[in-house]
Amino acid sequence: MSALEKNLHMGRLPPRPTMPGGLQSGSKMRMGPGRKRDFSPVLWSQYFESMEDVVVESETGKDSFRVYRSGSEGPVLLLLHGGGHSALSWAVFTTAITSRIRCRVVALDQRGHGETNVRHEDLIHGRSFIRKTPSPLHSV
């Protein structure tokens, strides 16, 4: 559609309704005047009770996996994140579930994600991942 056609069609439309505060619907100021979205990082401690780096030794050396925990009694919920994420993906869920039921939450960063420090980050596929990854769960 050409700019001329667009202008002709726009001229036939009724005006957009005004919203409280004098803004029009569709405006980019939906959050209110002067408010901006804040995407700055928040601390892990807002969602988890503790954090530690679990060191796992194998015949080829040491790997370190970041583990976050909450709760001190009840069943253990082991939370594993998907590809491209980290254990902190479970932060809001952890707060919600521990406020509703008595449980322990353990969320760990997988190899090559989050705050892990491992020798072979590229071992993140299928059987190689399972066979060659020392399990931080034995230390948890």
Q: Is residue 17 part of a domain?
A: no
Q: Is residue 15 part of a domain?
A: no
Q: Is residue 117 part of a domain?
A: yes
Q: Is residue 128 part of a domain?
A: yes
DSSP annotation string for 105-117: EEEEPPTTSTT-B
Per-residue model confidence as pLDDT tens digits over 99-116 = 999 999 999 887 777 677
Rg over alpha carbons for the chain, rounded to the nearest Å, is: 24
Parent domain of 97:
44-138
* Matching residue, tokens 């190689």: 128
Cβ atoms of 99 and 92 within 8 Å: the answer is no
* Matching residue, tokens 């993140």: 124
Per-residue model confidence as pLDDT tens digits over 46-99 = 999 999 988 888 776 788 888 999 999 999 999 888 777 788 889 999 999 999
The model carries a pTM of 0.63
Q: Is residue 114 part of a domain?
A: yes
- CA–CA separation, 114 and 118 (whole Å): 11
Cβ atoms of 136 and 108 within 8 Å: the answer is yes
* Predicted pLDDT at 74: 95
State how many domains the chain has. 1
Q: Is residue 7 part of a domain?
A: no
- Cα dihedral 107, 113, 115, 118 sign: positive
Cβ atoms of 85 and 113 within 8 Å: the answer is yes
- CA–CA separation, 98 and 47 (whole Å): 10
Q: Is residue 79 part of a domain?
A: yes
